[in-house]
Amino acid sequence: MTVFFPLDTARLRLQVDEKRKSKTTHMVLLEIIKEEGLLAPYRGWFPVISSLCCSNFVYFYTFNSLKAVWVKGQRSTTGKDLVVGFVAGVVNVLLTTPLWVVNTRLKLQGAKFRNEDIVPTNYKGIIDAFHQIIRDEGILALWNGTFPSLLLVFNPAIQFMFYEGLKRQLLKKQMKLSSLDVFIIGAVAKAIATTVTYPMQTVQSILRVSARVFSTFSQTTF
């Protein structure tokens, strides 16, 4: 995540700031560095990494626990992998969405937007962001974007379905998977899942920033 963090920053800017003229990743990154400083692409790194650690713990713990209970030593199937992945994703979304709402706002704080409808924030950190959001917008604002997030649980579910399926197919032809094999099937599975669910990721990012931005976005784009 640290290695590819600037790319994630560019993705988020393109999703939220629809009035930005530059539409390519490298041009957006160059604009950010020029206007906001060399370290701007890494703004919000700590809250994102913290949220990612919590989110991955919840997801993988739930996924493997449910799989262990359901499969019970039997051979797993693609359908079971999809169902288990979906349930684990729902649990993860309901527990960790507040963290992602906060880290999305912190990541965009101080950014120079082309869209004047985006309301700037002034958070001192993760705890202060939680406090201000609850005080100014109500506690339910921490779950902004939950609906598209629930739909996006299909992302890891689809990812794991393809990952487990590809792994089983390779293991039929060879006794052991190499690190390269794992890397390739993981990349392919994630690429498929991301492509299928990307439109909902865009809506999710906008909702996490603010409901007002989404309202403006829906009027100008949809």
pLDDT 10s digits, 78-99:
778 778 888 888 999 999 999 9
Give me the mean pLDDT over the 56-65 stretch. 91
| pLDDT tier at 115, thresholds 50, 70, 90 | low
How far from 93 is each of 120, 146, 148, 198, 208, CA to CA, in Å? 26, 7, 10, 17, 13
Q: Write down the pLDDT at residue 186.
A: 92
Cβ atoms of 103 and 48 closer than 8 Å: yes
Cβ neighbors of 190 (< 8 A, separation 6 or more) are 159
Return d(Cα 204, Cα 145) in angstroms, integer: 5
**Model confidence at 164: pLDDT above 60:** yes
Average pLDDT, the chain: 82
Q: Write down the pLDDT at residue 219.
A: 35
- DSSP 8-state assignment for residue 2: -
Backbone angles phi, psi at 113, to 5 degrees: -95, 150
How far from 131 is each of 79, 127, 138, CA to CA, in Å? 42, 6, 10
Cβ atoms of 22 and 14 closer than 8 Å: no
Q: Write down the pLDDT at residue 116.
A: 67
**Model confidence at 22: pLDDT above 60:** yes
Quote the tokens at residue 83: 């169902």
DSSP assignment of 139-170, as one string?
Answer: GGGGGTTHHHHHHTTHHHHHHHHHHHHHHHHH
Cβ atoms of 183 and 86 closer than 8 Å: no
| pLDDT tier at 216, thresholds 50, 70, 90 | very low
Backbone angles phi, psi at 72, to 5 degrees: 50, 55
Residue bearing the bigger pLDDT, 155 or 71: 155
Domain residue spans of the chain: 44-221
Q: Write down the pLDDT at residue 220.
A: 36
**Model confidence at 143: pLDDT above 50:** yes
Architecture of domain 44-221: Alpha/alpha barrel (1.50)
Return d(Cα 83, Cα 173) in angstroms, integer: 27
Percentage with pLDDT > 70 across the chain:
89
Residue bearing the bigger pLDDT, 187 or 75: 187
**Model confidence at 26: pLDDT above 50:** yes
Angle at 196 between CA 166 and CA 144, to 5 degrees: 125
pLDDT 10s digits, 166-212:
888 888 888 888 899 999 999 999 999 989 888 888 888 878 776 44
**Model confidence at 214: pLDDT above 50:** no
Cβ atoms of 97 and 145 closer than 8 Å: yes
